[in-house]
Amino acid sequence: MDLRAFQDIVHKTRDLRRTQTLPKFSPADRDTLIRKYHPDYRERAYRPIQFGPNAGDRTVRELACLLEGESPVPADLPLTPDQTADVLVVGGGGAGCAAALHAHGKGAKVILATKLRLADSNSVMAQGGMQVAIAPDDSPVQHFLDTLKGGHLKNDHQLLKVMVEEGPTIAKWLVDLGVLFDRDADGNLQVKKGGGSSKPRLLTCSDYTGLEIMRVLKDEVLNQKIPLLEFSAAVELLSDGQGACTGAVFQDLDNKRFVLVAAKAVILATGGIGRLHIQGFPTSNHYGATGDGLALAYRMGAPLVQIDTFQYHPSGAVYPEQLVGQLVTEGIRSEGGHLVNVKGERFVNELDTRDVVSSSIILECEEGRGVRTASGREGVWLDTPLIEVEQGEGALEKHFPAMVRQYERYGVNIRKDPVLIYPTLHYQNGGVKIDVNGETPVKNLFVAGETSGGLHGRNRLMGNSLLDLMVFGKRAGLTAADRAKSMQQGTLTLAHLDQFRAEARKHGVSNQITSPMILPAYTRTPT
Amino acid sequence: MAKAEFDTENVIDQEEVLRPKMVTVEIAGKTHQVPDGITLMKALWYTGHEVIRGAGCLGGFCGACAAYYRTKHDPKVKTCLACSTAVEDGMSFSLVPPFPARKATYNLSELKDPKQDLFELYPEAPLCRNCNACTEACPQNIDVREGVWRAVFGDFKAVSEMFMDCVMCGLCVPVCIADIAPNLVAVYASRAQGVHYTEKPKGLFKRIEEIQDGQYQEDWDRILRMSDEELQTASANIK
Ligand SMILES: Cc1cc2nc3c(=O)[nH]c(=O)nc-3n(C[C@H](O)[C@H](O)[C@H](O)COP(=O)(O)OP(=O)(O)OC[C@H]3O[C@@H](n4cnc5c(N)ncnc54)[C@H](O)[C@@H]3O)c2cc1C
Ligand code: SF4
Ligand code: SF4
Ligand code: FES
């Protein structure tokens, strides 16, 4: 059958669907659904980690290999620092920029090192918005409860309380820097409703929230003249031989040389893992989302939490082929867009949490109610034209200009036709264990943003990540800057790496991959 | 079983969806065969190019992958984002190296008159000669030339709205005959709009005070003492 015939089914059933409301699943049904269809429950994809702080814990094979991997740094690397800083921030996304700006503001000498260009990150792609409980009928407490529910009650309560309570203050910081959040008629920040939230709580900059925030933060980092090391990938941390972190080794991606930075405190803000393509999933993540920070912290002895759970965003593009894996904004569902199977039926309340919606889509496809493309992919429809039927012509262009453009490039008009979607690997729910100031159990090693874990439980709620980045980036930056004032630079050793290598040998682990990965190996090599 | 039946039935099988054929493209002057319809970025990988500078978000948001391209028989060289543009037969393209534009530095909150200060920070901005090259270079279809004029005339609100789509790819910069970096002027104007000319969000300030005044303390005390079952019920019941 051709594409048009399939799409016609969606057009024909629209009016009928508009009259339906789908109930959300009961907690028991949610659980059954997720256990049966969510990729987190595919036994085959998992194995125990063989050694290190999380020895015996299960995670996906791709991550286990990365954590057990071999450092590219030779044991006899000369350890003279090329540069020194009070606070070394690794990663140029939202968490890294927030940390660097706050540490710099406190008077610390900061270096911001990043693998690609400053701001080339996952943060720049966030479209849906940032959750902050500011509406009159909303409260931080309700935000707390919604997030807990979304995270299956596995969230770290302390971290979560800090995040929701500092949300409004951090929103003010961004407003004061000139971030242009959408406004209500009365000049207040407009809030929109997001999946899994009981109240409208999403602050947005049309569908360019991350881009707008990152444009401003990058501009400010440059205004403050914070020294940058771009195209420099952290490949190993440095320790003082007594378990505290004292800096990092980078590889300059232009000339492959090692660069050593000595620092009193290090903040890892290296983002997520999408480019590991866990379980073969396509991903919405940026080029550098290879989980480097997890591997670095792990080798240093920092324990990880909840690394057996990942977020597969319900709406990854399936067609056209050029867009595979890319995110289709959740805003469409927030605004009432339906998910529709091949027969033209809805099958899940579109505003349920991501894990539930993704599981439902996988169920539809596994039971043969998905639409398949000739390249072997499968998906269900997201009824975008419905938005204009409900809100009038021009609504998509007004509220979702980025998405209109995303499809227009390949000749697809989302105002006229629905789009095919399937879950895409989106977010690492867990990460390095941190306290409320972003510090790990390894002294003077801080982690902020997606690389950290615990806050989101087993499923992150939409819009909570941008808030997480800003709040914990700030707290890590401030704490690290304070710490640096009252201490001396420690010595630089690779003692932790020697120990890690000894552990690997002891456990008979060989054939290790080189870790961190730095960039995915997409370049085709001659066969 | 139903599944097998659907397997053939639910397949979109028309030709343009399949795209099995190979096309000829020229990358930085060299001819290669690549599958039709893949992105320029994937064509680079496919042909063995290692991309470090020139790839970022891979989703059309970061502007790292600015590229020049030309299609068969068309003399016009166009611009695009390599991660978000499909190849076609006879296309030639190259990634664009970074351009050393000057960014002014400023402390926005301390500026007294940002609309006037623009002329000190970016003295070249009012020298625009209306050539429209910047607008033609913009892969995001922003009317860049118009934006520069709006900034010069102090309509920062319009600038902020027009440049919300700007991915900072910098393609509008090297083409400018007046040495203006329109995207940097726009970032300045947009931020100034936010800091100086946008209403203060009172509801937000009120919430910050409420939190500082401990208005939620009682709720917290109650909630943080709850067992998991109680939390489950509490979170299931909020409206
Ligand atoms: C498409 C998309 C849409 C999203 N939408 C939303 C949304 O609407 N709302 C929301 O709240 N969240 C959203 N998220 C999630 C959120 O954007 C991310 O979780 C968040 O941006 C992560 O921020 P970060 O600062 O931790 O990491 P990133 O922003 O990914 O930054 C990591 C940085 O570290 C650098 N880096 C990586 N490894 C190294 C290394 N070894 N050495 C040096 N530097 C390194 C990277 O190059 C990058 O600059 C979205 C995510 C994606 C992918
Ligand atoms: S305005 Fe300039 S920097 Fe911004 S998207 Fe257009 S060409 Fe790129
Ligand atoms: S390229 Fe420069 S001179 Fe030409 S219209 Fe744009 S800003 Fe003006
Ligand atoms: S890689 Fe970010 S826009 Fe293309």
Interval A413-452: pLDDT, tens: 999 999 999 999 999 999 999 999 999 999 999 999 999 9
For the record, the structure tokens of A527 come out as 């066969």
A367 contacts on B by Cβ (under 8 Å): 2-3
Number of C-beta neighbours around residue A65 at 10 A: 20
Is the pLDDT confidence value at B19 over 70? no
Distance (angstroms) between ligand 4 centre and the Cα of A142 equals 37
Ligand 2 pocket, residue B187 CB under 6 Å:
no
3-state secondary structure chain B: CHHHHHHHHCEECCHHHHCCCEEEEEECCEEEEEECCCEHHHHHHHCCCCCECECCCCCCCCCCCEEEEECCCCCCCEEEEHHHCECCCCCEEEECCCCCCCCCCCCHHHCCCHHHHHHHHCCCHHHCCCCCHHHHHCCCCCCHHHHHHHHHCCCHHHHHHHHHHCCCCCCCCCCCCCCCCHHHHHHHHHHHHHHHCCCCCHHHHHHHHHHHCCCCHHHHHHHHCCCHHHHHHHHHHCC
B234 contacts on A by Cβ (under 8 Å): 145
Mean pLDDT of A91-106: 98
Is the four-CA dihedral B132, B134, B138, B141 of positive or negative sign? Answer: negative
CA of residue A133 relative to chain centroid, distance? 21
Q: What is the mean pLDDT of chain A?
A: 95
Ligand 3 pocket, residue B53 CB under 6 Å:
no
pLDDT at B225: 95
pLDDT at A315: 94
Tell me the shortest Cα–Cα distance from B43 to chain A, in angstroms: 10
What was the ipTM of the complex prediction?
0.93
pLDDT at B11: 61
Mind listing the domains of chain A with CATH numbers?
3-37+311-425 (3.90.700.10), 83-309+429-495 (3.50.50.60)
pLDDT at B221: 96
Model confidence at B9, in pLDDT bands (50, 70, 90)? Answer: low
Is the pLDDT confidence value at A401 over 60? yes
Mean pLDDT of B191-206: 97
Report the percent of chain A where pLDDT is more than 70: 100
Distance (angstroms) between ligand 4 centre and the Cα of B58 equals 4
Model confidence at A2, in pLDDT bands (50, 70, 90)? Answer: confident
Say whether A333 is catalytic.
yes
Say whether A313 is catalytic.
yes
Instruction: Indicate which atom in ligand 2 lies nearest the CA of residue B173.
Output: 2
Q: What is the mean pLDDT of chain B?
A: 92
pLDDT at A198: 92
Mean pLDDT of A244-267: 98
Mean pLDDT of A376-404: 92
B17 contacts on A by Cβ (under 8 Å): 3, 319, 373-375
pLDDT at B14: 53
pLDDT at A3: 84
Q: Which of A333, A426, A460, A496 is catalytic?
A: A333
Q: Is residue A56 left, alpha or beta, with left meaning phi > 0 and alpha meaning psi from -120 to 50?
A: left
Better pLDDT: A66 or A21: A66
Query: Mean pLDDT lowest for which of A60-64, A245-249, B11-15, B109-113?
Result: B11-15
pLDDT at B10: 61
pLDDT at B24: 97
Mean pLDDT of A502-507: 96
Q: List helix spans (H) across A300-371.
A: 331-334, 354-366
A-to-B residue pairs, Cβ atoms closer than 8 angstroms: 244
pTM above 0.80, yes or no: yes
Mean pLDDT of A322-328: 90
Model confidence at A352, in pLDDT bands (50, 70, 90)? Answer: confident
CB contact under 8 A, B231 and A216: no
Residues of chain B with CATH 3.10.20.740: 19-95
The CATH-assigned architecture of domain B19-95 is Roll (3.10)
List, as ranges, residues 32-91 from B with C-beta within 8 Å of A: 37-39, 42, 45-53, 55-62, 64, 84-86
